[in-house]
């Protein structure tokens, strides 16, 4: 592969190296790069992109997922009620091949903290696999839509919901829970891909046996070594309702056989009620994919006081570092620091701010702990003005993309601060266990959003684009050095991966908080697809003038809008004549 002189040497293992024209999992590959080698759409023709076809599912909640494509079929799953659709890409109009309705409990809508969303689904072993908001994981036959298995993982009555994308590696499906705002006990579980049987479950707080910590657990930093730290770093028994859910992304290194994922905020969000480090909240784990046993962990925000979940994606890359190649991962944490971490050991190699923050003064190079700004620590009943970033961070769950052609990562980020007031709360199962009140506002400059390219070795922005509204879509980068992203006010853009120059923009019918993908149709043509349907955490800006209406539409683009779903052979009106014609198809009358 040829590279320009500016390439920084970062690379990625693109296993399992699916056919270039398909997209079978949200991150496309095990490393979560969201990189497609397709290059038909390029800088020379991207300005000619037009809508080829669309699909509306009629569901009013936030559309955060990415369509999947395999075997000339597109697979979609809606937000609640989590209806699955298979669309036939070989036929005009991409008609529905089958529909599957899991009928989740409506109670889940009231328990979900931040909209009845679903962030993705997976294709594996001839199955479409996804989670329902009421804590079931289902597998349906990808050809027929017939339910193959359905596994219940928790009780929605207790405040547990499931919004993450079910993730498949090897012969296992990995699922985590949501509900930190209701004081759930966070966990990650592994299910058998063939049967749906639960194989293991690792909790994110509690004694070592529950967290699946054993003799092989070796955190890089001494302050995270010790017995039962998931329990002893909390007041007595508070870990049982300590939140720290796992509702974000999971990536996988097939050579190390390790999965990587993050944990959410500690509960309650009132820090005065839970003195201590509150392990393993606002952290990440590396676990053996087969046994679930932890190999190392790292806590990004000890004793999190601002709701800085650690669940954002961990993109796996290999980097040149001080004369050798290091297996690394990159996470743009909510707390505003971008971390490049050795994924074998948990050593932090780079920790640099990627946006506006004032809660910390930096990261200690010896301990990798943040240096907390004393003036930005909330106290019960006292308003803390202008804490930056806000609770959803400098970046939330919306996933970044990595290009092995440029060595850069691309991400939508925020410029939002908050006025914060805490009040003590008590735990009652299935009810809010929160205690945090926020008024959010734009940070310096007045823009709510930004899209950036990031060098994970130097720890610096290479370029960025300021956006007046939040940038809360996932990113997509292609083999022709195009990056696609969307904004909360409904702009879908293509930019030059090397310079950040905006090459194409299209206004859609709602805000974009989904994840764009690209694929080859049965006609050999490259398409780009994205959902527009604002919701989820983007609703924090709902009072902003110009905020768009809810939506439910998948938009599919191609050069010139051409597709096998239009053109000769389809019913059409004749030029110069009215579209409504007499019905001449019935037998003639004599």
Burial 159-182 (b: 16+ CB within 10 A, else e): bbbbbbbbbbbeebbbbbbbbbbb
Cα 284 from Cα 348, distance rounded (Å): 12
The verdict on whether residue 307 carries a ligand-binding annotation is yes
Transcribe 451-496 into DSSP letters. EEEEETTTTEEEEEEEESS---S--EEETTSEEEEE-TTSEEEEEE
Per-residue pLDDT of the chain (590 residues), as tens digits, is 556 656 899 999 999 999 999 999 999 999 999 999 999 999 999 999 999 999 999 999 999 999 999 999 999 999 999 999 999 999 988 999 999 999 999 999 999 988 999 999 999 999 999 999 999 999 999 999 999 999 999 999 999 999 999 999 999 999 999 998 899 999 999 999 999 999 999 999 999 999 999 999 999 999 999 999 999 999 999 999 999 999 999 999 999 999 999 999 999 999 999 999 999 999 999 999 999 999 999 999 999 999 999 999 999 999 999 999 999 999 999 999 999 999 999 999 999 999 999 999 999 999 999 999 999 999 999 999 999 999 999 999 999 999 999 999 999 999 999 999 999 999 998 899 999 999 999 999 999 999 999 999 999 999 999 999 999 999 999 999 999 999 999 999 999 999 999 999 999 999 999 999 999 999 999 999 999 999 999 999 999 999 999 999 999 999 999 988 665 556 555 666 655 555 444 444 43
The verdict on whether residue 493 carries a ligand-binding annotation is no
The verdict on whether residue 18 carries a ligand-binding annotation is no
User: What is the 8-class DSSP label of residue 266?
Assistant: B
Cβ neighbours of residue 365 closer than 8 Å, sequence gap 6 or more: none
Number of C-beta neighbours around residue 6 at 10 A:
11
Is residue 211 within a helix (H) or strand (E), and if so which, with residue range? helix 208-211
Q: Active-site residue among 115, 304, 307, 455?
A: 307
* 369 close to 360: Cβ distance less than 8 angstroms: no
Fold of 35-559: Methanol Dehydrogenase; Chain A (2.140.10)
The verdict on whether residue 64 carries a ligand-binding annotation is yes
CA 517 to mean position of chain CA atoms = 13
The verdict on whether residue 356 carries a ligand-binding annotation is no
Exposure on the CB side of residue 106, measured as CA atoms within 13 A: 0
The verdict on whether residue 265 carries a ligand-binding annotation is yes
Cα 63 from Cα 499, distance rounded (Å): 30
Q: What token pair was written down for 383? A: 């308003």
Cα 517 from Cα 65, distance rounded (Å): 10
Cα 128 from Cα 409, distance rounded (Å): 29
Q: CA 428, 431, 433: angle at the middle one, nearest 5?
A: 75
β-strand partners of 401: 410
In a 3-state reduction of DSSP, which class is residue 294?
strand
Q: What token pair was written down for 328? A: 């690394």
Answer yes or no: 552 catalytic.
Answer: no
Look-up: residue for tokens 């289902």?
Answer: 138
Cβ neighbours of residue 333 closer than 8 Å, sequence gap 6 or more: 300, 301, 308, 310, 312, 339, 393, 395
Domain spans, the chain: 35-559
Best CA proximity match to 535, nearest among 61, 19, 4, 27: 61
* Beta strands 476-478 and 35-36, pairing class: parallel
Best CA proximity match to 481, nearest among 568, 375, 408: 408
């Amino acid at each position: 592969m040829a590279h320009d002189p500016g390439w920084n040497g970062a690379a990625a293992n693109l296993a399992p190296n699916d056919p270039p024209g398909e997209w079978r999992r949200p991150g496309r590959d095990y490393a979560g790069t969201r990189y497609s080698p397709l290059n038909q759409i390029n800088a020379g023709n991207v300005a000619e992109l037009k809508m080829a076809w669309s699909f509306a599912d009629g569901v009013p909640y936030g559309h955060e997922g990415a369509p999947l494509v395999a075997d000339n079929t597109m697979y979609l799953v809606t937000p609640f009620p989590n209806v699955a659709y298979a669309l036939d890409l070989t036929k005009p109009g991409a008609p529905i091949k089958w529909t599957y309705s899991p009928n989740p409990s409506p109670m889940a809508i009231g328990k979900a903290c931040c909209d009845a969303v679903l962030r993705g689904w997976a294709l594996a072993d001839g199955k479409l696999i996804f989670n329902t908001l009421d804590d079931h994981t289902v597998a349906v036959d990808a050809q027929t839509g017939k339910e193959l298995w359905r596994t219940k993982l928790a009780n929605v009555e207790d405040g547990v919901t499931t919004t993450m994308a079910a993730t498949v590696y090897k012969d296992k499906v990995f699922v985590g829970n949501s509900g930190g705002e209701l004081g759930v006990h966070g966990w990650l579980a592994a299910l058998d891909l063939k049967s749906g049987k639960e194989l293991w479950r690792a909790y994110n707080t509690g004694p070592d046996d529950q967290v699946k910590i054993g003799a092989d657990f070796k955190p890089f930093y001494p302050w995270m070594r010790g017995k039962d730290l998931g329990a002893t770093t909390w007041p007595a028994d508070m870990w049982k309702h300590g939140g720290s859910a796992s509702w974000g992304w999971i990536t996988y290194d097939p050579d190390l056989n390790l999965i990587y994922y993050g944990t959410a905020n500690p509960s309650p969000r009132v820090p005065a009620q839970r003195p201590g480090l509150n392990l393993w909240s606002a952290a990440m784990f590396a676990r053996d994919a087969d046994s679930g046993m932890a190999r190392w962990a790292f806590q990004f925000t000890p004793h999190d006081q601002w709701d800085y979940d650690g669940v954002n994606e961990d993109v796996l890359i290999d980097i040149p570092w001080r004369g050798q190649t290091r297996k690394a991962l990159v996470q743009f944490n909510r707390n505003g620091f971008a971390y490049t971490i050795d994924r074998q050991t948990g050593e932090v190699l780079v920790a640099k701010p990627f946006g506006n923050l004032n809660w910390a003064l930096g990261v200690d190079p010896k301990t990798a702990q943040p240096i907390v700004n004393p003036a930005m620590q909330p106290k019960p009943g006292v308003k803390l003005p202008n804490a930056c970033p806000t609770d959803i961070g400098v970046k939330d769950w919306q996933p970044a993309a990595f290009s092995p052609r440029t060595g850069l990562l691309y991400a939508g980020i925020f410029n939002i601060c908050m006025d914060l007031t805490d009040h003590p709360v008590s735990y009652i199962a299935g009810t809010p266990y929160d205690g945090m009140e926020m008024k959010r506002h734009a940070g310096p400059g007045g823009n709510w959003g930004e899209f950036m390219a990031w060098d994970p070795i130097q720890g610096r922005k290479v370029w960025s684009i300021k956006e007046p509204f939040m940038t809360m879509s996932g990113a997509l980068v292609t083999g022709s050095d195009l990056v696609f992203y969307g904004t909360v006010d409904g702009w879908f853009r293509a930019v030059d991966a090397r310079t950040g120059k905006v090459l194409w923009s299209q206004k859609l019918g709602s805000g974009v908080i989904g994840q764009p993908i690209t694929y080859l149709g049965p006609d050999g043509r490259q398409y780009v697809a994205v959902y527009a349907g604002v919701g989820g955490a983007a609703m924090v800006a709902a009072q902003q003038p110009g905020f768009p209406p809810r939506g439910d539409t998948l938009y599919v683009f191609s050069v010139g809008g051409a597709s096998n779903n239009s053109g000769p052979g389809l019913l059409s009106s004749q030029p110069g004549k009215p579209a409504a014609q007499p019905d001449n198809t019935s037998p003639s009358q004599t």
